[in-house]
């Protein structure tokens, strides 16, 4: 697939609260499968009447829906570890401490998260979806433009949406209705420097 030009491209990276904690700790983050969303030529063609702001909202919405799939994976991982009973993490850390740090086997926080960043070296992937791009590597903290996270009031609807996101992908209208309830909640905007303080409050 052709690469985007060498100028910066605003991308929207699906994430979870656990991933945001990792971002703060490591000062960089790698998107799952290096997949993000952006205003691409294919997206512009699909929404010919949309302006740049409207198209950015579409790309962010796709990233927010992808965040639901990441939450589903985190929950599955947490359930697998719960089935293991009192099994210790492989690295020997305290399981209770792991819950505090948001490790991969702690129960997820049911809030969608999207990281907006300006990057170079992306590859367009219209074969996957109109807005999909493949990133060339990790995103450093300094490239983050903003972070978008659900407020606490969205958690019940987001948790229900996680249950049905796979069914919605397969075209189930009832599942799409449940997803719609979650997507009615607007993601709150945070500057990158605000992220540590937000996570402290969760």
* CB-based contacts of 76, cutoff 8 Å, min separation 6: none
Q: Has residue 47 been placed in a domain? A: yes
The pLDDT tens digits for 78-101 are 888 776 654 444 444 444 444 443
Task: Identify whether 2 is part of a domain.
Answer: no
Range of the domain at 108: 9-197
What confidence score (pLDDT) does residue 49 get? 84
Cα-trace Rg, the chain? 17
Residues of the chain with pLDDT under 70: 1-6, 83-105
**Considering its fold, how many domains does the chain have in total?**
1
Q: Does residue 67 lie in a domain region?
A: yes
Tens digit of each residue's pLDDT (9 = 90 or more) over 106-127: 789 999 999 999 999 999 999 9
User: pTM of the full predicted structure?
Assistant: 0.85
Q: What span, in angstroms and rounded, lies between the C-alpha atoms of 119 and 69?
A: 23
The residue count for the chain? 202
**Residue 109, SS3?**
coil
């Amino acid at each position: 697939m052709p690469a985007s030009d060498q100028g910066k491209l605003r991308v929207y990276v699906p994430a979870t609260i656990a991933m945001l904690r990792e971002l703060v700790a490591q000062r960089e983050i790698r998107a799952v499968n290096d997949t993000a969303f952006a205003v691409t030529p294919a997206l512009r063609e699909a929404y010919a009447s949309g302006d740049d702001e409207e198209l950015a909202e579409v790309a962010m919405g796709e990233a927010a829906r992808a965040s639901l799939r990441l939450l589903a994976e985190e929950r599955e991982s947490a359930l697998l570890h719960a089935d293991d009973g009192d099994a210790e993490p492989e690295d020997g850390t305290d399981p209770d401490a792991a819950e505090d740090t948001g490790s991969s086997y702690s129960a997820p926080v049911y809030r969608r998260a999207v990281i907006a960043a300006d990057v170079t070296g992306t590859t367009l992937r219209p074969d996957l979806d109109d807005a999909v791009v493949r990133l060339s590597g990790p995103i450093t903290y300094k490239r983050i433009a903003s972070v978008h996270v659900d407020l606490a009031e969205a958690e019940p609807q987001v948790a229900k949406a996680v249950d049905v996101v796979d069914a919605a992908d397969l075209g189930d209208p009832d599942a799409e209705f449940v997803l719609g309830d979650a997507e009615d909640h607007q993601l709150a905007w945070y500057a990158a420097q605000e992220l540590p303080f937000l996570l402290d409050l969760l």
